[in-house]
Structure 1
Amino acid sequence: MDIERDVFINKYNLDVKMIEEFQIDWGKLDEIYYDFIDRREQLDVYSNLLAELLRKQPKVHTVRSRIKDPEHLIAKLIRKTPERKKSKGEDFEFTIENYRTEITDLIGVRVIHIFKEDWKDIHEFINTTWSVKELQVNIREGDSRDIYEEQKILINYRETGYRSVHYLIEFAPTNELLTAEIQVRTIFEEGYGEIDHLLSYPNNNIPEVLTLNLLMLNRLAGSADEMSSAVKIIKEEWSEMQSSLIAKDDELRKLESRIEKLNIEKQEKESLVKDIGKIRLESNWYSDWSKELSSIINTNELLSNGDWSKKISSIETKGIFKLSGDSDTSAINKGLKKTEQLEGEQIKDKFKIQEVQSEPKVDEE
């Protein structure tokens, strides 16, 4: 390698005793290192292919792809050796022939989405596009797990607060079957993950005060995800409410127009129009909805990691559609019924006049 053995060991905080105990052959690590460097350009083409396909999914915001850093690969091979010897036998060792199948994240693709709920569509896309060998989700203790249990996904609880869904997929751009890792996370999980990775990976040798602050940052990122989903729901409900208001206002205008055409006493006509005005003035959908929304949003909940989207959903139909609720709809329907009744009476009166006018003609015949 381009770096001396002792310098490499110190750089990646590797255990010298472990290397000696498991008789890790530095010469074979050298072979793997240079073989991987020779293959990187081709692997980069394959990773870009995966990234382009993932960008076709509408809920995907950003896709990043990378080929594993050669030094990080060697450090990982050293750390994984005890585990592999335990599971595969004492004679096992990483070689130039087996490292590409033993290490599954040589090609890595990261998919970033905006809202937590967008994951479902991306999950379905990945499952229908490639063969998924392994699937697991990393969440923090206390996070909602219902959505993952519904899909029967293996759940790992991470003390660090790391959140991400990991897929190991198989694909064959050539005759060689390759494995790649796809990580799917929200934009806030990505921000936290990058900071945590920068400060603690791969050595994991960080002071307690930094660990505590990283956990606080993780909670803030989780709350930001919940708030984003809540804001999305508010926006969607607001748009529906605007449409509802426009539709109801159109109904009221049509009703007013019909009343104006009625041949009734001026006082009765003014009374009907006044009733319509009351419907407009007494519609307090906004104040009720805003008060209910404010009641569940307070600064004490920002770090509680409650499911904000569920809280918002619980009020979405209680106040925001007040104008289209039973009371207002009943008032409009009552006005329509009264108008139709008056119109019907006028039509009947008109027919009576026509009948009276036609009677002399019958007599003459």
Structure 2
Amino acid sequence: MMSSNQLPFSEVIEFYKSEETQSVLDQFLNQVEHFFKTNPTLKRAKAIHSIKARQKDPEHLRDKLLRKQSKGVIITKDTLFREITDLNGVRILHLYQQQFPLIHNEIMKKINEMEDWKLVEPPKAYTWEQESQHFFEELGIRTEVKDTYYTSVHYVVKPNNSKSDITCEIQVRTLFEEIWGEIDHTINYPHETESIACREQIRVLAKLVSTGTRLADSIFRTYDDYMRQEKK
């Protein structure tokens, strides 16, 4: 028999999976993805390597609802869109860190100048190393250190329409960071592994990824300098 605690979750999941809800979510997800695919400034600069778009898996949503409940937050179908802001997700991957400011500027232009989107919360850069913290803070992005060594920049946007609570989480990271994220996600999501060895290896991988990202920046700076010299 289904308990009284399980019933609200089942109602929320069924509401989330309904054709009507999926259609509304799809419309905004497609709009966000389309912006990055067609943005002329980003295309000319070849600032984006690839784009991934997804909607949250229903079972992952159920797990998140349970975690929220454990913290005293009960979510219903009426509050789902306000409380869970990553039902839609678009991930932007770029080759090296110096491409990020242009991507960030185009996102903020979409919000501040075009006024098509509204920020649900200020952008946040998750990082664990001091050099990256300074890099993001100089761009006016607040930073947060994750003990897990997770690295990514998050934006949560919604249509600039007070009647809509539909959101999309935009993640921006380098390809090196994506490799780390995929491995960590496979092992630690939705529940963290209890293997101490795996945890340590993932942290070592984070340090290798950081080194790779800095080396990629150095390679492209060297290449740009070389091309400028060739044109003289």
TM-score greater than 0.5 by the shorter chain? yes
Gaps of 5+ in 1: 6-22, 86-91, 245-365
Deviations 1:14-62 (A, max 9, x none): xxxxxxxxx9721111100111001224423321221111122331221
Query: Is contact 2:127–2:149 with CA below 8 Å preserved after alignment?
Result: yes
Query: Is contact 1:136–1:156 with CA below 8 Å preserved after alignment?
Result: yes
- TM-score, L = length of structure 1: 0.56
Query: Is contact 1:141–1:158 with CA below 8 Å preserved after alignment?
Result: no
Mapped pair 1:51 → 2:39: no
Structure number with the higher helix fraction is 1
Provide the residue aligned with 1:133 in structure 2: 120
Greater RCO (CA < 8 Å, at least 6 residues apart): 2
Report the Cα offset of residue 230 of structure 1. 0.8
Mapped pair 1:26 → 2:1: no
- Cα separation, partners in 2 of 1:67 and 1:80, compared to 1, 3 Å: same
Residue among 179, 184, 188 paired with 2:167: 179
Q: Given residue 114 of structure 1, which amino acid in structure 2 is its aligned partner?
A: L
Structure number with the higher strand fraction is 2
Moved segments of 4+, more than 4 Å = 172-175
Provide the residue aligned with 2:78 in structure 1: 97
- Distance in 1, matches of 2:172 and 2:26, equals 19
Query: Is contact 1:139–1:161 with CA below 8 Å preserved after alignment?
Result: yes
Q: Secondary structure at 1:170's aligned position in 2?
A: strand
- Cα separation, partners in 2 of 1:239 and 1:24, compared to 1, 3 Å: farther
- Distance in 2, matches of 1:145 and 1:174, equals 33
- Cα separation, partners in 2 of 1:100 and 1:144, compared to 1, 3 Å: closer
Query: Is contact 2:193–2:199 with CA below 8 Å preserved after alignment?
Result: no
Query: Is contact 2:28–2:168 with CA below 8 Å preserved after alignment?
Result: no
Residue among 50, 55, 72 paired with 1:62: 50
- Distance in 2, matches of 1:50 and 1:175, equals 18
Between the two proteins, the alignment pairs up a number of residues equal to 217
- TM-score, L = length of structure 2: 0.86
Map of 1:151-162 to 2, 5 A cutoff? Answer: 151-162=139-150
- Distance in 1, matches of 2:141 and 2:161, equals 27
- Distance in 1, matches of 2:103 and 2:230, equals 31
Report the Cα offset of residue 174 of structure 1. 11
- Cα separation, partners in 2 of 1:233 and 1:24, compared to 1, 3 Å: farther
Gaps of 5+ in 2: 111-116
- Cα separation, partners in 2 of 1:120 and 1:24, compared to 1, 3 Å: farther
Provide the residue aligned with 2:93 in structure 1: 112
- Distance in 2, matches of 1:205 and 1:143, equals 29
- Distance in 1, matches of 2:224 and 2:129, equals 30
- Distance in 2, matches of 1:225 and 1:68, equals 28
The percentage of counterpart residues that share the same residue type is: 28
- Distance in 1, matches of 2:94 and 2:138, equals 20
- Provide the aligned C-alpha RMSD in A: 2.2
- Cα separation, partners in 2 of 1:42 and 1:144, compared to 1, 3 Å: closer
